[in-house]
Structures are given as C-alpha cells and as structure tokens.
Chains A and B, each alone.
Chain A
Amino acid sequence: MVDFAAIRNEFPILDQEIHGHPLVYLDSAATSQKPQRVIEAESEFYRTINAGVHRGAHELAARSTTAFEDARAKVAKLVGANAEEGEEEIVVTAGATAGLNLLATAFGNASLGRGGEAARRFALKPGDEIVVSKAEHHSVLLPFQELAARTGATFKWLDLTDDGRVRTDNLDEVITERTRIVAVTHVGNVTGAITDIAPIIKRTHEMGGIFVLDACQSVPHLKVDFHALDVDFAAWSAHKMYGPTGVGFLYGKREMLEALPPASFGGSMVELAWMDQPAQYMLPPARFEAGTQPVAQVVAAGVAAEWMMAIGMDRLEEHERMLTDELLKMGDIDGIRIIGPRENVKRIGTVAFDVEGVHPHDVGQFIDAQGIAIRVGHHCAQPVHRHFGLYASNRASCGVYNSIDDIDALLEALAKVRPFFEV
C-alpha cells in the first residue's frame, strides 16, 4: 500500500493557507508542485558538486558529469528508453516547447540538405504533408505549422469527436503516402482524453512517415513505454512531472537521433571545428545539447523520475483514477458542462469545464477566493476551444498529492458559483 497522505506531506508548498483557506492545488497540468527531495537535490548539487559537465578534468567536473548522466538514465528508465553509453535516446532540452522546436528546426535543416544522405528521411518539400490533430497545444501546432510554411509542405490535421477525442476513424484519408511527419498529443491538455495513438502510429509508419508524440500530459500520470508504443520522437517537460522548471526531455529512437541533423550550434556538440572546413558534430545526445545545460535541474529531474518509479506508476495511475471519478461528479452540478470525455474511461484527472453564464476568469476568481487553484483561459490550445464553440474554459487537474478532500472542496465551491453571479 502506498501512503498517499505521507506523499502529500513531502510537498512543503501545500502546507499553507491562501485567502484564509488551506491551499487546494488543482493546476498540476500547468505545472506540478515539487517534493522536498527534488527541491533539495537542486540546492545540494550547487552546495557540493557544481561544475561544468563533459569538460574539464577536475574531480568536481567528474562528479557533476556522473550526476548529469545518472539523471539522464533515470529519466530514460521512466519512459522505457535506452541509456547505455553510445545508445542514449534521451536528449536534454530547455522544456517540451524547446524539444518540439528542436525537432521542427532539425527537420527544416534536413529539408535544406543538411545532415546529408542519412537525414533525407526527415526532409520536406512542396507536396509533402505534415499532420497534427486539432487537440494540440500551441507548442505542437505552431512549430509544425511554421515548418510547413518554411518548406512548402501541406499542413493537415486529424479532427476531434464531439467529446474532444482525436478521431481515428478516417486515418486512411488524412495520413497518406505524402505524409512525412505526424505529431499528436498523447493526452489532451484541455480534455484530459488519452489519444488512441496505436492506430495513428501504425498508419504513419505504413506510409513511411515519422511519428512525434507530445508526452507532456502523459509521462507525469501514466506508465509510458516509448519502445512499446513505437514512437519515433517524444517531447515532455520536467516541471509537470514533479521536477524543476527550465528543463525537458526529447526522446528519439537511437537510429533517428543518429540520422537527425543538429538544430542548435555551439560548444559541447562538435568534435572538430575549423575556420575553413565543415565541422564534424558529435553523436547524440551531445549533438543536440549545445551550450551549458541546466545541470542542477536535470539532476533534480532525475530525482523526480526515481521518486515516481519508487511510488510505482501503476499505483500513481490508480490513485489519480480514483480522484478523476470524484472530479467528474462536477458534471452533475447544474450549469456545468465538461469539455472532454464525461466518463472515466481513457482519460486522466485533467477536467476542463464551462460554467454556463459565468466567464472562466470570474469562475477562477471565485474558486481562488476559497483557496483553490484551478486554471482558466484557453490553456494554450485555442483550436480545441473553438471546437467546443468556446473562447476559454476552466480546468481542474490532479497530481499524486491530491486527495478526495481536495476534489470535494472544489465541488462544494463550484456549486456556489452560479448562485453568486446570479445566473
């Protein structure tokens, strides 16, 4: 048995009052809170072993390099990726957005002929197609929309069902032999719906395309195995999985990373640099990690990954599924419409909703006055909102530290919103 009350006590930020009420934090889809051990890991790094990694020969440099690479291995283990030296499949980035932009830039570079013959599989030209879904966060939508504009490729998308799931009934029409890249979210950051990615990946590969997964909302909540899923690339951030801000990870199949040209250039990614000869770049992951990395944060993210595995992703999933059951009861409150799947099937504990007659900013302010933090706005996913005929919504999202009491506090507050605003 996992003691989830003890887990909650590991989060110092939760032990405070907001506006005279105990803090109830239900905005983990925006960013999760951090356990004490993650907070300490970062400062401990600075107190004891801070030094440049992969450079210098002194003892601290050796220790910090080991800590950095150990963290990469822990993160790799969390998502079922390779971590052995020479086989690494995890690239450190500045966040999920940075990882997705890295990919889009690298594909663009391949389209210009960079990376030679090996990189031709990533090259785009007019007539080729890039496919996303209408459920995408702007950090997937925009880098690939821009890539299409730069290369002349056609930009297409998978539509959504009425309850906001990515449609997979017409894959043969949307993903064709002209499709080179398909980028889809694993879990909708608004709807909380888990995408049925298996048939999308299968179809993409049958057509010879590359599949990119946005794993921001899945890795913190679900047991994820990128090898088993057979995704080619996946990007996510550390700060939504109980780790620090400013760091994220890009997974790539080893053969893909080896063929991908770099997107960012500078120190620590080049083997030989000349004034009058082309540079020779390092093997992955170093090839994609130009410049000084956020080492302390990566080390702390490794601690977060290890901590999640110690709890057990199965048990974490089960706990959050129980919270989701409770959260979905909001649909019974008069005037509240859930934006996304209403049933607790193939979804996570991220629930967006509309309160009839009350703008999300007003809902959020009312809820906040009770010490409860939820997200309001378009959650960086405007097309999803338009799909539901909305500009913005409210979103409550769970983390491992939430309890049934947290959800009940929200439900109690939500029942008072429309009466207060007299609608």
Chain B
Amino acid sequence: MSDFGMGEDDFEQMYQEVILEASKHPHGKESFAADLAREDAGAKTGEMTVRASHEYCTPGESHQFNPTCGDEATVHVEVSDAEPHTIEHVVWDGHGCSISQASLSIMVDLVEGKSVDDAMDLEQLFHRLMESRGKGLDDENDEDKLEDAIVFQGASKYPMRIKCALLGWEGLKDALAKALAAKNS
C-alpha cells in the first residue's frame, strides 16, 4: 500500500452512489448564467444580472469560480423580507466535476425553506466536515444535521477536492450576504 494511505477503498468512499446520482440529476440547477466554454462568453460576463425575485423577497446572487479546473457555479437565492429571514428559493447554474455538482444539489435540498441563520450554521458545519481530513465531525448530532451532505466526508481526504465540495456553499454564503445587505440598504 502507498505511504499516503489512500487506495481504492478511499476512492470508492469518495464516489458514493449518493454523489454519483446527485451529480447526474442535480436539484436546483437552472440555466441562467454565461457559459465560459463559449468563445463569446467573455463579453457577456459583465452583463449578468440578478433575475426578478419572488414577491416580498430580496434576491442575492454570487458567482464562484475555481481557476484550477474552470469549474463555476452561480448561486441565486431569494430571502423573505419578513423575519426570521428565510430562504424561499435557491437555484444555481454552472458546471463542474461530480463532487461540485452533487454538493450543490444536496445543498439545495438542505437549505431551501430554512432560515438564513440555520443555513449559515449548516454552512459552518459543512466547512468543518471538509476540513476534517476524512475524520468527520466529533458530534453525531452535527453529522445528522448535515443529512446527505455527510457523504462528502470521503472527499475531505483529498486536499485537491475540498474546494470542489465547497464551491456551492461559498456561493450560498456570499449570495445570502448580498441579499441581506440589499435589504438593509
């Protein structure tokens, strides 16, 4: 076995069926952002606009890009004006590896309908999971809160893939911050 302790078992732990399935049929994925694989995309990136939002909601949108592989995700959220601020709607557009696509899909299932505060707590838990180098979270209750997102524990063993799993969550955090800032302005 290798000195790095990573073999085919680790590989299969990363690519669990939940991930492969979610990446092939991702939830919350819509087509609304520029396609950077097109030669005419350069001119369009400046034109991206936040789409009209639901009534009594404020939208926020964030574009995330991983320059090492070109993966990108634009996360669009709509946050209720009433308190507690709740994520009424979350969709995304983008492309990437199965880890990033599955993570976005599972994130949508987890945070839609939740309060912004609860979603941010989940984001922190997920961040801790991805920094755990395969060890997972100490508290079983915390692991339960992440529901299906706990399958990314396998990916957290691979330093090069942590960013893939976090791409969508970074977008969510930033989009929520923008929506809240827009409410307060």
The answer to whether A378 and B2 have CB atoms under 8 Å apart is no
Chain B CB within 8 A of A392 CB: yes
Chain A CB within 8 A of B164 CB: yes
The answer to whether A18 and B98 have CB atoms under 8 Å apart is no
The size of the chain A interface, using a CB distance under 8 A, is 28
Neighbouring A residues of B11 by C-beta, 8 Å: 19, 365-366, 369
Neighbouring A residues of B8 by C-beta, 8 Å: 19-20, 369
0/1 string, B145-166, CB within 8 A of A gives 1: 0000000000000100100100
Chain A CB within 8 A of B43 CB: no
Minimum Cβ distance to chain B for residue A138 (Å): 11
Chain A CB within 8 A of B71 CB: yes
Chain B CB within 8 A of A4 CB: no
Minimum Cβ distance to chain B for residue A294 (Å): 26
Q: How large is the interface on B (under 10, 10 to 19, 20 to 34, 35 or more residues)?
A: 20 to 34
CA–CA, A378 to B39, complex, Å?
Answer: 15
Neighbouring B residues of A385 by C-beta, 8 Å: 37, 70
CA–CA, A230 to B138, complex, Å?
Answer: 66
Neighbouring A residues of B7 by C-beta, 8 Å: 19-20, 369
* Contact residue among A18, A377, A391, A420 (Cβ-Cβ distance under 8 Å from B4): A18
The answer to whether A386 and B2 have CB atoms under 8 Å apart is no
Minimum Cβ distance to chain A for residue B2 (Å): 5
Residue of A nearest to B158 (CB): A365
Minimum Cβ distance to chain A for residue B61 (Å): 20
0/1 string, A245-267, CB within 8 A of B gives 1: 00000000000000000000000
Chain A CB within 8 A of B36 CB: yes
Residue of A nearest to B155 (CB): A365
Which of B70, B71, B98, B101 has the most chain A CB atoms closer than 10 A to its own CB?
B70
Minimum Cβ distance to chain B for residue A325 (Å): 30
Beyond the given A20-B1, A365-B11, A371-B2, please list 15 additional residue pairs across the A-B interface where CB-CB is below 8 A. A19-B2, A19-B6, A19-B11, A20-B7, A359-B71, A359-B97, A359-B101, A362-B97, A369-B8, A376-B69, A386-B38, A387-B39, A391-B71, A392-B70, A423-B24
The residues of A with any CB-CB pair to B shorter than 8 Å are: 17-20, 359-362, 365-366, 369, 371, 376-378, 382-383, 385-387, 389-392, 420-423
The residues of B with any CB-CB pair to A shorter than 8 Å are: 1-2, 4, 6-8, 10-11, 14-15, 20, 24, 36-39, 41, 68-71, 95-99, 101, 158, 161, 164
6 closest A-B pairs by beta carbon, nearest first, are: A361-B97, A391-B70, A359-B97, A369-B11, A392-B70, A391-B37
